Structure 1
Amino acid sequence: MYASGLRIAAVAEVVIVLTNLAFALSGREGKAHLRHSSPASRLSLDLEPHHRYTFEEFVRDFNKEYVPGSTEYQRRETIFADRLRVVQEHNAANSRRWTTFRRGVNQYSDWTDTELRGLLGFKPSAQWHAKRQPRLEVLSAAMESSHSNSSGAFSRQERLLTNLPSHVDWREKGAVTKPKNQGACGSCWTFSGVEAIESALWLSTGKLFTLSEQEFVSCTSNPEHCGGTGGCFGATQDILYEYVLAHGFTLERDYPYVSGNGSEPMCLNQPLHVGSIAGYVDLPPNDLAAHLLAVNSQPLAISLDASDFHNYHSGVLTFQDCGADLNHAVVLVGYGTDEETGIDFFLVRNSWGEEWGESGYIRLARSQECAVDTTPLDGTGCEGGVDELTVCGTCGMLFSSSYPEEGLALQEPPPYL
């Protein structure tokens, strides 16, 4: 679940594209650019290459509770110094237009590697992939049929792609809740699945409800250890969908999230279920066109390699900036084109809080390039299966995606909503 998989070497000799000038130096030498990314005034620091930013400032800015001079203080200061060096070296390259995104200092800049891996909680196994095959084959066959039966030079799919808008952002339509924070729990699979359901429910009812992730962390069984052992140690969105089909979902206010510290409380005996889903659809793996078409209709739950996301600040990550070891679940909420660089991107929502990245979001270049995940059975995934999986898209984001089907409804809308 947490191993780093195949890394894809960056080609430093090639200037990829013109860097986004909005991410460049603020024009005042030696000053840091502060981005207030949430109403709570939490900070995400985009540091200029030569800015001196001390650990004392970091502790103050991010409300860290360390005793000066203690062993823990010194340990965290050493970690922070290493993280800061990586950020500033990368941003120096960015100022020379060698990269298309910037790294920054945030609440994770003093976390250990083990703690950072705890943010990840998704690992598709070969057995899990095999279970998806019948559904995927049906979708693929339907697409092929559409292609073979089309008239003229373009297939139905190609015609649909031609008619797609150049820009989609479900935030602008009010279809997504504000970014949440999973904390020190590998529960990204619950946030990804729940947030996809929230948006699907908005499409069905016209109302945006905040649903509970905690129920799935505490109550969803994972006997075959697909994607992990469950709870804070990973699972898949499909397992969440199956639970919802059997039991329904609960509102956040009735079953609030408490696993941010890594704990997994026992399941409540009778959660107040207020609705369910009609079903769910898995997209054909590694199909860029299918993802563009699908996200034009609704947000998608997807998986990717987020091993190096912890210090992302802004800009567009390209295929060369990522690995191929799928280990994290997020939500695809749109696409567009970066105005400064001209890069076509996908807009992805994370579950690390609003103070991370671009107010809780990251942009990934649209790519059909592929790499090999050489560790599909790492961690606690399902036993058996192949040793390698081909995953495509930036950070492998096109391999495993799904969405709830239409027909969602609240069974008994609460009177206080």
Structure 2
Amino acid sequence: MHNYIEKVLTKLKKRNPGEVEFHQAVEEVLESLEPVLESDSSYEENSILERIIEPERQIIFRVPWVNDAGETKVNRGFRIEFNSALGPYKGGLRFHPSVYTGIVKFLGFEQIFKNALTGRPIGGAKGGSDFDPKGKSDQEIMRFCQSFMTELARHIGDKTDVPAGDIGVGGREIGYLFGQYKRIKNRYEAGVLTGKGLSWGGSLARTEATGYGLVYILAEMFKDKQITLEGKEVIVSGSGNVAIYANEKISELGAKVVAMSDSSGYIYDQNGIDLDLIKEIKEVKRGRIKEYLEKYPEAEYYNQCHDIWTVDCDLALPCATQNEINLEAVKKLIENDVIAIAEGANMPLTPAAIELVQANNILYIPGKAANAGGVATSALEMTQNAMFAEWSFEEVDQKLKQIMINIYQEASTTAAKYGKKGDLVAGANIAAFLKVANAMLDQGVV
């Protein structure tokens, strides 16, 4: 390891104890930058690594709210504004009990590079709360969102920081958040949040964007490798927007999704998952994936969601959460002759899993490239808001597809340029780093 990288990582872990996800994300990026640092000393001379791993601003705040029983509850809110070298901070809000500083920093750090790859003028940020929306009424969620935004509104704006949704934050939550922002600021600032409703500034194809984008970049890689998607059997973990619309698009291209999951377990249907039924269970009823068996009793259900990776498949699309594929899961996938793994979630493979995937020459697309379609389309939503324009679904979808093609080609070309041909982890990291780091050099010590 380059001495500069080693020094920075040592200091990072000392200054940020216990934030294991953040350490993992930073180490994965920095280790791939060795050829860049060896070829250009200006990054070390200007302390770019020390600056890029330190958030520009970290905000932690109390979120008090009242439940339907009249009891006062208190959660913790976060916003990590990580890097604005390329544009206003941009990144989602996650409402989930697992949220703490280390998770938000990991996600915000990843967002810097993911956003840079899109080619849009947006910086990196992330936020959220340890609030759990599961089991809460609409009124409880509204009251929580209003309290959360009462503080967050001080720190965001369409030229400053533009949040969006993530796990636990969908159209309902974005609506409540936007309503409170408008109420506090006394102005209609459509560009302050993305993922809005279509009738009040949202973009067509935003719901589908991350899942579609995942498949578009996978299809471009297969085209480059002269492989067809037709007839391939696919595992998709998760059953949220990313998983559902990755299923939809890859099925359109001739593949067959045979397994999907939620946090309670997974289903396997050898005839192919009935996506319309999954949409009804998850998007309409907000139910559990086990309900799939009520219509298809011949399908199989298992109550350990992580065991989904034992299912025989050609393609694996992890679309649930971080570190969901560990070393043992990858060994099983390899044993079952998996061809490719593309990350729909943020950092779903552990470092040991990635190392084994690459050692076995499995085609692999890291999340900062593969799941960039969501934020790319959020940036397209910001563009439409700024122009007072509404683009058709087809127009947005075509722009999204081209962005994902560009990301693959840039990552592939950059990897080859720096002696890492075929390594899309290195290619994506280096390409994104160069954009951000060079902008930081141009803007001085800030």
Global fold match (TM > 0.5): no
> TM-score band (shorter)?
under 0.3
* TM-score normalised to structure 1 length: 0.26
Q: Which has the higher contact order (CA 8 A, sep 6+)?
A: 1
Specify which structure has the higher proportion of helix: 2
